[in-house]
Structure 1
Amino acid sequence: MTERNPAEHDPAGLGVAGLGPAGRNWAGNLAYGAARLARPTSVDELAELVVAAGRGSACVRALGSRHSFNRIADTDGLLVETSGLPTHVEIDAEARTARVSAGLRYGEVAEALEREGWALANLASLPHISVAGAVATGTHGSGDAIGSLATQVAALELVTADGSLLRLRRGDPDFDGAVVALGALGIVTALELDIEPNYEVAQTVFERLPLEAVLADLDAVTGLATSTSLFTTWREPDVVDQLWLKQRTDAATSAPPRDVLAQMGVRPATAKRHPLPGVSAEHCTDQLGVPGAWFERLPHFKLGFTPSNGDELQSEFLVPRERAADAIAAVRGLADSIAPLLQVTEIRTVAADALWLSSSYGGGTVGIHFTWLPDQPAVEALLPTLQAALDPFDARPHWGKLFDVGFAAQRMPQRYARWDDFRSLAARLDPDRVFGNGLLERIGL
């Protein structure tokens, strides 16, 4: 482990004059405040690091693919990179599960599964994110009948504060609290994921949907394919710029999407599209209705390239499905304030689950995602207004993206029915808060 030179860093995560050993996150908007960085190469070495840090009253946090935009993965103590742990993708065909290393990226897991004839039910828009980090923050793809990535977890293993290895399986008393855990219970070393036989997906992009037609029957639009994403810049507040439909070739929708959309005057794109206006679609996954392997269509972007735009900030707020149309209309009401700071908004659906800190706990949700220009002071100034507009619809922020932490601290204990149960679980597994950090403390966890 390497000591860093002391450097000040602001609580908003705007960066520092001199970087410590952990450097910056993927977007470059945040400089980690850790005094030390370690990259253990075994679970035993990781356990020794955790115990030693705890004795020294230093907090420990895990660092995955660095795709969080806030300080959820940060600490002023010890940051542990999980990518150095032994890598494996071990398939149990009878159980239909795969045991995977926590630090692997989803794209790497997908390629290993594909070679053996297996698949996951869904992927996020970026295959570049680490499995453990995505699961711990409730990251998701899209699909009316598909849960977040965390719902694919059948079991997990984590190093706890005393250095022991805790294994939890679906159905165990603490399992539902330990999956989306924000790194507060320990450092996850491996997960078992549900798998299924390989399948193909065809992806088609449609352009310029009337927003009023979408809001009039949002369920009809999101139900047009296995996975749907709506993109808009809000520069034309009454138009959804693009609708991406990802349809499994072994499944059928209730009505052919081309027929439904043709009734709205909407036609498919005639060339490959990028979600961001004016950006080359070279690095996007293939479209135009050509079927391909699941892992080459479910993400928006290819693994071998910089995902999305790269130079960006992100926020996302998830609202109960039954209130989504009104929530989207409320965002449209702020279009004049949002559009100058925005690259694109994406709207996706997530099925309900029973994971305590999941944004879809207890009911299906619709995620309203914002890819911002890299102007953090301006974005942070807008967030309280945006969150206030979404507050009547019981919005929950994505844990790994930018949100007004003070506002969330007031609301989240009421938005999560198992909030206090999670606090009790964390107190039991980590009584000295070895895995705590400033963000968790501010939101009451």
Structure 2
Amino acid sequence: NWARTFRWQPSRTYVPETDADVANLVRDARRARAVVRVVGARHSPSDIAATPDADAMLGRPGFAVRMHRMANIVHIDRARLTVTAQAGITLEALSVALDRAGLALENLGSIAEQTVAGSMATGTHGAGSRFGVLSSTALEIVLITGTGERRVLRRDDPDPDAFRAALCSLGCLGIVVQVTLRVVPAFQLAVVEGELDFATMAQQLPSLLAQSDHTRLWWMPPTDRVLAQYARRITPPAADASLPPPPTRPRPGWVRGSLIPHHLYEASLYAATWMPRLLAPLDPYAAIAHADAHSIPRGRSFEMFKLDCLFKQYVTEWCVPLADAARVLTALRDAIRAAGPAVAGAVHAPIEIRSVAADDALLSPATASSTPAATAAPFVYIGIITYRPYGADAPGRARYWALYEAILRQRGGRPHWAKAFPLGPAELARLYPETWATFQRVRASCDPDNVFTNAYVRRHL
């Protein structure tokens, strides 16, 4: 994967060009008793897409599928505000095409290189209490099941269970070949950045997250400093005559765009793997690396949503109800302080806090279950990171991860499916009491022979 935290070697790699190609490769795999997984942009910091040459437990060959030749726009409907695209298109390419048509995706995360189907399959999210995960905008999903059948799933189906399962499918229902998404008129984001302390953030978290359309908070441990980014939507741009035409986001200068985040900061973190006490003095560099993301205060939405991931890293992220988020963050700060030197070298900045609207996907970490998503309270994602400067692993990372996971487990947090996490089927079923059984029923119907069941799926489902 991108972070080099997992490696695998499939026995075959397929690059289909049509739906028929996908159906044929699935039938081939079924006859060969092979495991099939689609490999997107490989940004998931887990083995969710891994297809080993021979499955360690079942002795099955692994077939990888790359969808980059099925990456076209099928249709843009300006009147109905929808776009239909093949599953292999990246969010970047889709956003550029929509922008040319005067449209935009409603919300995006920080990474634009992901494929649209891969982003949906793992519940990828952005920021904003009024905006759900990417798949919450889906209207239709076309997939090839484990039997080679082509199924068209729609939000308005009389029995929507299969559609709701496909909204966050983990790649285990079939291979998605096409999606139709709801879009919005193109808009800009006007960004204001601020700074506050941890105590203020914890006391005012709900109001801070609601202060703008898209709020990102970055807590910068080992300090109590919190950086805030507030982004306001301007739709349509022409409605505000005081604004100039939307600028194209320029590349940052070499010092702030490359020297500090990609050289000085990485070298300093590498030194800190041996001397963790260096992390606190690194705070100014961390602030530049993470919060100096925009060299202009306003721009096209899809350009402003993006952030630089810098360099290789371990990352995990769990989701909790808004009402629990401040308590979780306070418990995490107290636990980090109590652990002291045992985790100090692995506690890298930032710890990112973002809110999302509830949704109706069966296994989305932000699912509202039986509560209508439109009336449910938002959820908050809390993500931690430990960089791997020059491939080096920071001491104490395993203990830091265990500390974080223990707190989130205690609060009933749900892990982001794209990340690596230790929960098995029994514990995950308790986190999705109203939807787990339905998802498993749909999965058995779509993939009766476990064609899409790799080690990740066996471990968690």
TM-score band (shorter)?
A: 0.7 to 0.9
Report SS of the residue matched to 2:345.
Answer: helix
- Tell me which of 86, 106, 122 is aligned to 1:137: 122
The answer to whether 1:351 aligns with 2:357 is yes
For residues 410 and 458 of structure 2, what CA distance do their matches in structure 1 show? Answer: 25
Matched residue type, 2:364: S
SS in 2 for 1:389: helix
Question: Which position in structure 2 is the counterpart of 1:229?
Answer: 216
Q: Are 2:221 and 2:349, in contact at CA under 8 Å, matched by a contact in 1?
A: no
| Compared CA separation, residues 410 and 234, structure 1 to 2 (3 A) | farther
Q: What does residue 428 of structure 2 align with?
A: 412
Summarize the Cα distance change of 1:222–1:72 in structure 2 as closer, same or farther, 3 Å threshold.
same
The answer to whether the Cα contact below 8 Å between 1:346 and 1:370 also exists between their aligned partners in 2 is yes
The aligned counterpart of 1:51 is: 27
CA drift of 1:73 comes to: 1.1
Aligned residue for 1:38? 14
For structure 1, list consecutive stretches of 5 or more residues without a partner in the other structure: 1-24, 252-270, 302-306
Tell me the amino acid that sits aligned with residue 63 of structure 2: L
- Give the counterpart letter for 2:77 in structure 1: D
1:253-306 deviations in Å (ceiling 9; x for gaps) = xxxxxxxxxxxxxxxxxx999798526659965356x3211112122x2xxxxx
Matched residue SS, 2:23: helix
What residue in structure 2 maps to residue 184 of structure 1?
Answer: 172
Which residue of the partner structure matches residue 214 of structure 1? 201
Structure 1 distance, partners of 2:194, 2:188, is 20
- Structure 2: which amino acid aligns with 1:228? T
One-letter amino acid matched to 1:309: L
Distance, in Å, in 2 between the alignment partners of 1:376 and 1:169 is 46
Secondary structure in structure 1 of the residue aligned to 2:229: strand
**Deviation per CA, 1:188-223, whole angstroms, max 9, x where unpaired?**
11111111111111112212x121111112111111
> Residues 378 and 103 of structure 1: is their aligned pair in 2 closer, same or farther, counting only changes over 3 Å?
farther
Confirm or deny: 8 A CA contact 1:203 1:287 kept in the other structure. Answer: no
Aligned to 2:109: 124
Q: Is 1:317–2:318 an aligned residue pair? A: yes
Match of 2:303 in 1: 296
Q: Aligned partners of 1:381, 1:49: CA distance in 2, in Å?
A: 42
The CA distance in 2 between the partners of 1:122 and 1:224, in whole Å, is 17
Alignment of 1:104-119 (within 5 A): 104-119=89-104
Q: d(CA) in 2 for partners of 1:352 and 1:377?
A: 36
- 1:434 is the counterpart of 2:420: no
- SS of the aligned residue for 1:83 comes to coil
Pair 1:102-2:90 in alignment: no
State the shift of 1:382 in Å: 3.3
Residue 249 of structure 1: CA displacement? 2.4
Task: Measure, in 1, the Cα distance between the counterparts of 2:350 and 2:291.
Answer: 17
Alpha-carbon shift at residue 389 of structure 1 (Å): 1.4
Q: Relative to structure 1, is the Cα distance of residues 42 and 250 closer, same or farther in structure 2, using a 3 angstrom cutoff?
A: closer
Question: Is the partner of 1:366 in helix, strand or coil?
Answer: strand
Residues 319 and 367, structure 1, Cα contact 8 Å, conserved in 2 = yes
Check conservation: 1:124, 1:298, Cα contact below 8 A. yes
Deviation at 1:373, TM superposition (A): 1.8
12, 31, 37: which one aligns with 1:61: 37
The structure whose RCO (Cα within 8 Å, separation 6+) is larger is 2
- Separation in 1 of the partners of 2:397 and 2:32? 37
TM-score by length of 1: 0.82
Q: How far, CA to CA, are the matches of 2:397 and 2:170 in structure 1?
A: 23
Secondary structure of the residue that 1:98 maps to in structure 2?
A: strand
8 Å CA contact retained: 1:41, 1:86: no
Q: CA RMSD in A?
A: 2.4
Q: Is the 8 A contact 2:261 2:310 kept in 1?
A: no
Q: Tell me if structure 2 keeps the 8 A contact 1:357–1:419.
A: yes
Q: 1:201 aligns with which of 189, 205, 208?
A: 189
Which residue of structure 2 aligns with residue 393 of structure 1? 411
List per-residue Cα deviations over 1:363-411 (Å, max 9, x = no partner).
Answer: 521000112122288534432332111222111111111222xx35442
How many equivalent residue pairs? 389
More off after superposition, 357-366 vs 377-386: 377-386
More helix by share: 2
Q: Which stretches in structure 2 are left out of the alignment for 5+ residues?
A: 53-61, 237-255, 266-282, 369-375
1:27 — aligned with what?
Answer: 3
Q: Deviations over 1:41-67 (max 9, x none)?
A: 222112111100111110111110001
Q: Distance in 2 between matches of 1:287 and 1:331?
A: 32
* 82, 90, 95: which one aligns with 2:67: 82
Matched, 1:239 2:235: no
Equivalent position SS for 1:132:
helix
1:385 corresponds to which letter in structure 2? L
